[in-house]
Every structure is written in structure tokens, then in C-alpha cells.
Amino acid sequence: MRGRISIAKIINTVAQFYKVSVNKLQRKSRRAKFTKPRHVAMYLLRSELNKSYPYIGRMFGGRDHTTAVHAYNKILGAIQNSPGVRAEIEQIKNLLYSPMLNLTQNNKINFKETKSNMAKQNPNNKRERFKRLAAYRTNEVLKKLKVLGNCANRSAYEYSKEEVNKIFSEIERKVREVKSRFHFPKEKEFKL
């Protein structure tokens, strides 16, 4: 079962995903950089929270409900016709519903995360970036494992115990390999 999400979480997550500010997302700019994220946010407000079109229009600079209808239909069509857009929407939904992660703190996100200041970030921002990325990537791996589990259907597939053990021993080996890449510095011991 999916967790609860809010209007603020949808808007903040979409803005962060597309690297635009919430203010620019809600303004009347027609630049493509802001239009697509705005349409995605409108689509998600309708599809995930079932908000009315007039309400969605008001959320984005007092726009008419027909703008929200257009945005919803445009993104719905893009999802059906474009694997890239479909993947983006899935990534955003993963971020929205990830149980490991609380994207927002008091429903606000720091949008000043640029390459030039990444090195200067305080440890809390780095930790939040890690949690967000790790949650997304973990969810992707778990989806793939679930798909692998579909191969357990004996009416559709034939397999031996050895074949299954070989698959899972390889998965376990790779998990150990990836886990070993994480570095945990040892605490210095006090010496006299």
C-alpha cells in the first residue's frame, strides 16, 4: 500500500526533480524549462490526489481549469507514447512514495544544489541527497527482483534447484561486493 502524499510534496518533488524552483513552477512563464514540470505536477495532482481541475489551475498562478485539463491530457499522452516521459513519471512517483525518505522538511526543499556548491555543502545536505538517491535506486533494484520472482511460475517455466541457487548466490555475491564499497572510518583510539 502506498503512503500518503500531500500537494506540497508533489509540487516540491517535481520542482526538485526538474531542478526548478517552486516559485518559477507556479508563475505564468511559458518557457519549456518550466512548462513541462508544471504539466507533470498538474498531472500528478490529478492522478494521485484526484484534485479538481479548477483547484489545480488555482494552485498554479490562478490558471483556468482548461489549462489543467490540457496539462493532464498532454502528460497522459506522453506517458503512453514516450518511454522517456514514462520513466520520468515513475522516478518521481518512486520519490513521492519512498518509505525510506522524507523529501521535504516542513514542506520546503533547498533548491540551491548546484555543482559549484556541492563540495561546500554541509553534511546534512549530503545525507539527504544520499537518502534520496539510495531510496530511488533501492526501489529500482527491488522492482527488478520482483520481476525475477515472476520466473518462479512452474506452469510457465522449468528450472532446477541448482539453477535457482546459482542465481541467488550470484545476487548475494554482488550485494556483498557493493556493500564493501561503502567506507566507514574507524574511530581513533585514545593512546597514552
The whole-number pLDDT of residue 103 equals: 39
Q: State how far the Cα of 52 lies from the Cα of 64, in Å rounded to an integer.
A: 12
* Domain assignment present for 189: no
75 and 137 share one domain: no
The whole-number pLDDT of residue 2 equals: 53
59 and 138 share one domain: no
Q: What is the pTM of this model?
A: 0.52
What would the pLDDT profile of 155-167 be if each residue is shown by its tens digit? 778 889 999 999 9
Transcribe 78-133 into DSSP letters: HHHH-HHHHHHHHHHHHHHH-TT----BTTB------HHHHTT--HHHHHHHHHHH
State which residues form the domain around 158: 123-178
Could you say which residues of the chain have pLDDT below 70? Answer: 1-3, 99-124, 185-192
**Cell numbers linked to 149:** 520472482
In whole angstroms, how large is the CA radius of gyration of the chain?
A: 21
12 and 107 share one domain: yes
The whole-number pLDDT of residue 36 equals: 92
Q: State how far the Cα of 38 lies from the Cα of 68, in Å rounded to an integer.
A: 10
The whole-number pLDDT of residue 189 equals: 63
77 and 158 share one domain: no
CATH code assigned at 38: 1.10.1750.10
102 and 158 share one domain: no
